[in-house]
A = this chain, B = another copy of it.
């Protein structure tokens, strides 16, 4: 009973992609986890590259690759027929296959039979581990930080990644804990929290950041929002089970309603802090908010700096955009680590 661990490094598979947009997963991996990527592979119809050396599976295997990772998405989230010979070649070369697509790999008969014959694994990152226990609520040792949010898709994953890297740069013993498929591919391990059965949601979060040394930090990728009309159950279980000592609230500057739910106003930052602390206190009475991670990607450097200063003064909290870094982000990191 453990979190999913992916065989690495990866050979990134770009399929038959002809536009960069569909290869988001591969590009994210190359940017955020280059040390896990040996090369790229694609079928002849493909016209794009992730900028890594192109190699066949057998070559990649010789160079150390342990899996082929499907780094491309098509509209239906399915294995395209013209990918199958390439995927079979990977299995035959001794690579496992890693996928975050909706369609399960084993649902393709040719992949299923080849994997069985070659004794390779077909790994669907969306599938949580079996036999997740019910949460115990018992306090675990070590420190934990959870990135929470006013909404989905505004930077919780990259906030957690950036904080984990910066902690590491400061010499802190830290693990990034991935809770979604892209995060799992980046980290090479994790649990797809949104795919866990509700009764075991908090239990899965407990499994994800186990007991650790007193000075060890788990920096946990958040999911959804307690205010989300569809996904709050995921956020609730993750918050209870993570037992965070520190939360960082993620928000996108200027977003006023829930993404794709225009009838639902975004909660204020104050409401978001307050509700997360109130609920989080149930499993960790010492929980506190260290500050705000503000996604300012659509603002100019100057407008971003002004807004962060303004919000910081208003909330009396550190406000930073981890993608911009700078002294604001260093202050946010200081606030995360204060008191320990």
What is the bound-complex CA distance between A196 and B194, given in angstroms?
11
Looking at the complex, which one of B197, B229, B236, B278 makes contact with A232 (CB distance below 8 Å)? B236
Closest B residue by C-beta to A238: B233
Contacts of A264 in B (CB 8 A): 137, 282
The residue in chain B whose Cβ has the minimal distance to the Cβ of A231 is B199
Count the copies.
2
Which one of B136, B237, B278 lies within 8 Å of A198 (CB-CB)? B237
| Distance A240 CA – B229 CA, assembled complex (angstroms) | 6
A137-B261, A137-B263, A261-B137 in contact; A202/B232 too (CB < 8 A)?
Answer: yes
Determine if B232 and A240 form an interchain contact, defined as CB atoms under 8 angstroms apart: yes
Whether the pair A233, B137 counts as a contact (CB closer than 8 A) is no
- Please tell me if A130 contacts chain B, counting CB pairs below 8 Å: no
Q: Residues of A within 8 Å of B, CB-based: how many?
A: 34
A227 CA to B283 CA, complexed, in Å: 9
Q: Closest CB of chain B to A149's CB: distance in Å? A: 15
A259 at the interface (CB under 8 A from B): no
Contacts of A227 in B (CB 8 A): 282
Within 8 A of B (CB), among A228-266: 229-234, 236-237, 240, 261, 263-264
The reply to whether the CB of A275 lies closer than 8 angstroms to some CB of chain B is: yes
Taken together as a complex, chains A and B put the C-alpha atoms of A263 and B196 apart, in Å, by: 26
Nearest B-chain residue to A263, judged by Cβ: B137
The answer to whether B234 and A233 touch across the interface, beta carbons within 8 angstroms, is: yes
Task: Report the bound CA distance from A202 to B199 in whole Å.
Answer: 13
6 residue pairs, one from A and one from B, having the closest CB atoms: A137-B229, A233-B237, A135-B230, A201-B233, A194-B199, A236-B236
Q: What are 15 A-B contacts with C-beta separation under 8 Å? A: A135-B230, A136-B230, A137-B261, A194-B199, A197-B198, A198-B233, A198-B234, A199-B233, A202-B231, A203-B230, A230-B240, A232-B279, A232-B282, A264-B282, A275-B279
